[in-house]
A and B are shown apart, each in its own frame.
Chain A
Amino acid sequence: MENQSFNDSLAELEKILAELRSDQCDVDTLAARTRRAVELLTFCRSRLTTTEQELRSILATLQNPSDQQ
């Protein structure tokens, strides 16, 4: 998962959506695909956004440029 790029994840989400909308979606597929979708959405959001703690540490680093490379 870590190595999967944001773009790959988006493409996979689009594919899952298409599958869920098709008539070939049985219970097994529904369970597995929705679970995977949740996983991918969580991953993508975490790639894009930062947590409160991360943000604080970034801002602290910026206030002390000597910490920067």
Chain B
Amino acid sequence: MTAPQPLTLLELNSRISRLLATAPGINNVWIMAETSDVRRSGPHCYLELIDKDADTGTPRARARATIWGSVFPRLNDTFAAATGSPITSGIKVMVLASATFHPVYGLSLNITAINPEYTLGDLLRRRREMIARLRAEGILELNRQLAWPAVPSRIAVISAQGAAGYGDFINQLYTNPHRLRFTTRLFPAALQGRDTAPAIIDALTRIAESDEQFDCVVIIRGGGATTDLASFDDYSLAAHIALFPLPVIVGIGHERDITLLDYVANLRVKTPTAAAEWLIARGADALGRLRTLASDILDAATTRLSTAHRRLEYIAGQLPALAGAAITRNAIRIGPAADDTLTHAVAQVLRRRADRLDAIAAIIDALSPQATLRRGFSITRVDGHAITSPSQAPPGATITTTLASGILTSVSR
């Protein structure tokens, strides 16, 4: 019995290679798996595909895979545009692959296409699960329920230093047409890649150490590429934001991009500029309210003044007649000297009344920015109470009149 002719290993591997190339069902098939150890080498992308047990997470199957440089850039861009993340480790993918066998490197799956919808669906499902968990823990809505101060003006900013979005935000804020006062402090954090979530959590922790110095937190990232948004879909980061003691504004993408953070942040805006605009609008509202209050108070005080005016004019109109009658009545009894005294007294009363009107006008002028305060001022009091009618000053009562430069004391007759 002759020994069979042995093969070289190369011959064997070449046979396997040829068999695989023509075997049915293993070429150009769509397969579902999870990515791992994704790495770039030159234009090519090398990775592992794993099939994990849904319950235990232990691998049930594993294979090396390659996306050659001839297709990788286009495939990666399309994938990132659809899912918000480039092809990276730890995501579920559906790929079109062919099994190949290299005599030296062994089995490898050659990937030629990827279905972003599958990954997107998985990301959405995971996001929904995280939202459900945050809700079950009772923290989903906490940040959104925080009350804003009347005018949020002290702002802690989480952004990458020197990022275009940060510049837009600062520029918008500090050149606002109302000249509203804002103070900002940057807490730098790189907002892309797998370190995004820990970097933001770290920045939030630093802000929390002095949270009484701020009215709110703004997390912003420039526009541009929509890639990498998936790194914001992080449970721990979302929980930190939900539990943060200050309202958080998130402006990290464009309108159609949604991340988990949009569900927990107090306010979601499209862009950093929109975040600044919102804050400016709050300040402008407050200024408008002050303007309304100032004009309402001016109106009310003016009404009070004209009431006093009418009362005084009435008294002024009555006084000469009353005084004249008194003079006539008493002229015979007290002689000509009293004539002068009475006339003088009447003139004094009138002058005092006019001073008082001027005084009230002066106070009301203070509400009007154009007016000066130097128009004279007097208030007439009896027993420390301002009086509004002569009947409040019975004969013999001591009257004090407060003028701009002192107090006059006189006795009512």
Contacts and interface: CB of A to CB of B under 8 A. Distances in A.
Interface of A: 6-7, 10, 13-14, 16-17, 20-21, 25-28, 30-31, 34-35, 37-38, 41, 44-45, 47-50, 54-55, 58-59, 62, 65, 68-69
B286 interface: yes
A27 B287 contact: no
19 contacts: A6-B151, A13-B297, A14-B293, A16-B297, A20-B301, A27-B388, A30-B363, A31-B363, A34-B367, A35-B363, A38-B367, A48-B286, A49-B179, A50-B181, A55-B174, A58-B174, A62-B174, A65-B161, A65-B186
B174 A48 contact: no
Contact of B185 (A14, A25, A37, A69): A69
Contacts of A55: 174, 179
Contacts of B183: 58
Given A16-B297, A62-B174, 10 more contacts: A6-B149, A13-B297, A17-B293, A21-B300, A31-B363, A34-B366, A44-B290, A45-B287, A48-B283, A55-B179
A25 B388 CA distance: 11
Nearest to B362: A31
Given A48-B180, A48-B283, A48-B286, A30 B150 contact: no
Contacts of B181: 47-50, 54
A37 B366 CA distance: 9
B256 interface: no
Interface residues of B, number: 41
Contacts of A65: 161, 186
B180 A50 contact: yes
Given A26-B388, A27-B308, A27-B388, A45 B290 contact: yes
The 5 A-B residue pairs with the shortest CB-CB distance, nearest first, are A20-B300, A50-B181, A28-B386, A27-B386, A38-B366
A44 to B, nearest CB: 5
